[in-house]
């Protein structure tokens, strides 16, 4: 993995930081967040500004460039990857380690007095702006909005923004009409006496209108904004996309059933001026809802007396709790995914020196594409938590090393994400021991019974306990929310010591369960299922508050060869056997129906009971 040579790009950026054509006064530092104007995790090629300037292409990270320094903050998933992708112009700041300064503290330590720190106000979230501005001003510096993105200034061949064809999601997949979703949203607004709601997150807008796009690879979303009032709906989108008669009929653009369901359409770029006009006409007591993670630029259009920022929007919360149709779709998607993976693993067992991936998935009904770049690592590459195969770092799959594959797909009826760690020869005793600690953590979460109202961070230690007892750990969260034919990572729920763990888990939410262990330079292990939060019925019901547990949606065998079964309790063995029985019953029936004999034979071999 060769690092990107960035000396000349940094020189050009620093020139732009001093150029009065782009800044009213020279700035002494420039912040490059990793997201887009919608604060998306996965972004379109035209928005990959942090990657362009640094070479680091992980999904999380913030770059800061000063006159003398260039620094990159990222989390434990990407320490190894970032160090390999960046040249020596950059300093890697390892988030989560106590010796690593925060971005604000670092800036304060390296900047001259009374410095100006610039950032594109469309790209930085409002809550981040508020926090950083306060910290910098307390040290005599100032955070300033730079309207012309300075990376775009030096990025001469920047790609155009995508504008893909929109896909209508019918009731047979969505379960609830967009009109009913609007009505429910307005009900939430009325409860809080809110007059307007500004939606900026792309997956929320796609979910609200039962539409999907392909503007961002792996994520079936499209570039849009929505401003919704109690009697009006404004959709900001590339208007050329709305010419399809079926789409116009779906949105009732030409003949709305009710006046308050009439959608007014505007060019995507006009959201700022339209929001300004709405805010100029607000009454003294009118309130506008906007997520505190929306762009600083749009948020600051709304005067403080009218602004009601919220950490998670009603759309985010409603989208996280899947309806019965979505749950059934997710179950079907995971069965199809299991069929594809059983085929892949059965084939790999015989042809370990070869590797093909997509064909197994694309043969399944309603397959749309992958849900993230496949992580496929052998030996030391598997220790890079988000490793992506590259010609200069590829290793041949052999019978001598651990193999980790983290894959996911988008089907019209659901989104998948699964990780399996395998060995096609004989794993070492240490590899088996580490794998078993990870598996014990996975089972502890999957089998957990917990009270209604429990937040995900309380379950995170369940996944780590066996590793901690042996002095081991992993530097990523244990689980994230999963969308339904939407983003593979979604809030507000999850199982983590930090991200996605802020809202209580509810029945109907879908999250991943994915503890791991990574030995740098040697191997990586992760076991991941997507699980559904369901009601539990323990013996007692303290204060009538009810209990929850998890039901695995992923139905792919966990390799027994990698287990040190003597380290498993009887209860853990029973869990493995019951899980494998369900894999054999559900996925086996589908493999038989599709006539995939070799994969069925592999499934039966891999799901024999352990004792």
Domain positions in the chain: 6-145, 167-319, 324-606
Residue 544 CA to residue 160 CA, distance in Å, equals: 56
Give the SS3 label for residue 16: helix
**CATH number among 3.90.1150.10, 3.90.230.10, 3.30.160.60, 3.10.290.10, domain 324-606:** 3.90.230.10
Q: Identify the pLDDT of residue 481.
A: 96
Task: Tell which wins on pLDDT, 175 or 386.
Answer: 175
Q: Identify the pLDDT of residue 359.
A: 75
Common-topology check for domains 6-145 and 167-319: yes
Q: Identify the pLDDT of residue 385.
A: 80
Q: Identify the pLDDT of residue 360.
A: 86
Nearest Cα to 387, choosing from 366, 409, 368, 402? 402
Using one digit for the tens of pLDDT, what is the confidence trace for 8-56?
999 999 999 999 899 999 999 999 999 999 999 999 999 999 999 999 9
Using one digit for the tens of pLDDT, what is the confidence trace for 297-311?
999 999 999 999 999
Give the SS3 label for residue 306: coil
pTM, whole model, 2 decimals? 0.93
Q: Identify the pLDDT of residue 341.
A: 97
CATH class of the domain defined by 6-145 = alpha beta
For the segment 173-201, the average pLDDT, to the nearest whole number, is: 98
Residue 525 neighbours by CB under 8 Å, 6+ apart: 382, 402, 404, 421, 431, 434, 435, 438, 516, 517, 518
Contact 388, 407 (CB under 8 A): no
For the segment 374-389, the average pLDDT, to the nearest whole number, is: 85
Using one digit for the tens of pLDDT, what is the confidence trace for 469-479?
999 999 999 99
Out of 238-242, 381-385, 546-550, which region has the weakest mean confidence (pLDDT)? 381-385
Using one digit for the tens of pLDDT, what is the confidence trace for 502-517?
789 999 999 999 999 9
At the topology level, CATH places domain 167-319 in Creatine Amidinohydrolase; Chain A, domain 1 (3.40.350)
For the segment 247-275, the average pLDDT, to the nearest whole number, is: 96
Residue 360 CA to residue 337 CA, distance in Å, equals: 9
Q: Identify the pLDDT of residue 358.
A: 61
Q: Which residues on adjacent β-strands are paired with residue 144?
A: 118
Q: Sheet with 414-415: list strands edge to edge.
A: 367-370, 409-411, 414-415
pLDDT at residue 498 is higher than 80: no
**Helix intervals (H) in 111-263:** 126-138, 150-154, 171-174, 178-191, 202-209, 245-251
Longest dimension (CA), the chain: 74
Taking only Cα atoms into account, the Rg of the chain, rounded to an integer number of angstroms, comes to: 25
For the segment 132-152, the average pLDDT, to the nearest whole number, is: 97
66 DSSP 8-state letter? E
**Tokens in use for 173?**
């997949």
Q: Identify the pLDDT of residue 607.
A: 99
585 DSSP 8-state letter? I
pLDDT at residue 57 is higher than 90: yes
Assign 355 a pLDDT band (cuts: 50, 70, 90): low
**DSSP result, 75-138:** -GGGHHHHHHHB-TT-EEEETTSTTSPPHHHHHHHHSPTT-EEEE-TTTSBHHHHHHHHHHHHH
| Mean confidence (pLDDT) of the chain | 95
Q: Identify the pLDDT of residue 356.
A: 56
For the segment 145-168, the average pLDDT, to the nearest whole number, is: 96
In this structure, the strands spanning 233-236 and 263-266 are parallel
pLDDT at residue 140 is higher than 70: yes
For the segment 47-72, the average pLDDT, to the nearest whole number, is: 97
Residue 101 CA to residue 511 CA, distance in Å, equals: 31
């Amino acid at each position: 993995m060769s690092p990107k040579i960035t000396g000349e790009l940094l020189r050009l950026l620093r020139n732009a930081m001093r150029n009065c054509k782009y800044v009213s006064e020279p700035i002494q530092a420039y912040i490059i967040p990793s997201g887009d104007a919608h604060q998306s995790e996965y972004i379109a090629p035209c928005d990959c500004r942090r990657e362009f300037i640094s070479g680091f292409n992980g999904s999380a990270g913030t770059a800061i460039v000063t006159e003398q320094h260039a620094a990159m903050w990222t989390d434990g998933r990407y320490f190894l990857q970032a160090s390999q992708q960046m040249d020596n112009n950059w300093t890697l700041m390892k988030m989560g380690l106590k010796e690593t300064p925060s971005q604000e503290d670092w800036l304060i330590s390296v900047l001259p007095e009374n410095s100006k720190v610039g950032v594109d106000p469309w790209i930085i979230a409002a809550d981040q702006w508020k926090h950083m501005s306060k910290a910098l001003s307390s040290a005599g510096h100032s955070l300033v909005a730079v309207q012309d993105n300075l990376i775009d200034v030096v990025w001469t061949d920047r790609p155009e923004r995508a504008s893909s064809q929109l896909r209508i999601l019918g009731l047979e997949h969505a379960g609830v009409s967009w009109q009913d979703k609007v009505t429910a949203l307005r009900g939430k607004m009325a409860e809080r006496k809110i007059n307007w709601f500004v939606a900026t997150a792309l997956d929320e807008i796609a979910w609200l209108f039962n539409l999907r796009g392909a503007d961002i690879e792996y994520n079936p979303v499209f570039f849009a904004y929505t401003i919704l009032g109690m009697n009006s709906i404004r959709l900001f989108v590339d208007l050329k996309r709305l010419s399809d008669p079926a789409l116009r009929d779906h949105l009732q653009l030409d003949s709305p059933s009710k006046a308050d369901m009439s959608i007014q359409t505007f060019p995507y770029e006009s959201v700022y001026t339209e929001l300004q006009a709405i805010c100029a006409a607000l009454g003294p007591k009118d309130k506008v809802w906007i997520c505190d993670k929306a762009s600083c630029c749009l948020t600051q259009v709304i005067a403080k007396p009218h602004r009601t920022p919220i950490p998670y929007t009603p759309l985010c919360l409603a989208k996280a709790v899947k309806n019965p149709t979505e749950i059934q779709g997710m179950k079907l998607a995971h069965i199809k995914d299991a069929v594809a993976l059983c085929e892949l693993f059965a084939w790999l067992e015989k042809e370990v020196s070869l590797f093909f991936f997509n064909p197994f998935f694309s043969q399944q009904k309603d397959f749309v594409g992958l849900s993230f770049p496949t992580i496929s690592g052998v030996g030391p590459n598997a220790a890079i938590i988000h490793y992506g195969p590259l010609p200069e770092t590829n290793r041949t799959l052999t019978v001598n090393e651990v193999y980790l594959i983290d894959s996911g797909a988008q089907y019209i009826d659901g989104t998948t994400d699964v990780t399996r760690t395998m060995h096609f020869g004989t794993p070492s005793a240490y590899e088996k021991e580490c794998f078993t600690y990870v598996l014990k953590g996975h089972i502890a979460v999957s089998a957990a019974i917990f009270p209604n109202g429990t937040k995900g961070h309380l379950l995170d230690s369940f996944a780590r306990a066996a590793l901690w007892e042996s002095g081991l750990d992993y530097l990523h969260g244990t689980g994230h929310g999963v969308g339904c034919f939407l983003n593979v990572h979604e809030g507000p729920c999850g199982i983590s010591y930090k991200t996605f763990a802020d809202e209580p888990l509810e029945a109907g939410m879908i999250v991943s369960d994915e503890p791991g262990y990574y030995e740098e330079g040697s191997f990586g292990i992760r076991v991941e299922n997507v699980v559904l939060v369901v009601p539990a019925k323990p013996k007692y019901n303290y204060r009538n508050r009810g209990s929850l547990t998890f039901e695995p949606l992923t139905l792919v065998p966990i390799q027994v060869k990698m287990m040190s079964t003597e380290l498993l309790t009887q209860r853990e063995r029973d869990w493995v056997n019951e899980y494998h029985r369900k894999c054999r019953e559900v996925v086996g029936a589908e493999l038989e129906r599709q006539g995939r004999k070799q994969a069925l034979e592999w499934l039966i071999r891999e799901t024999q009971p352990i004792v």
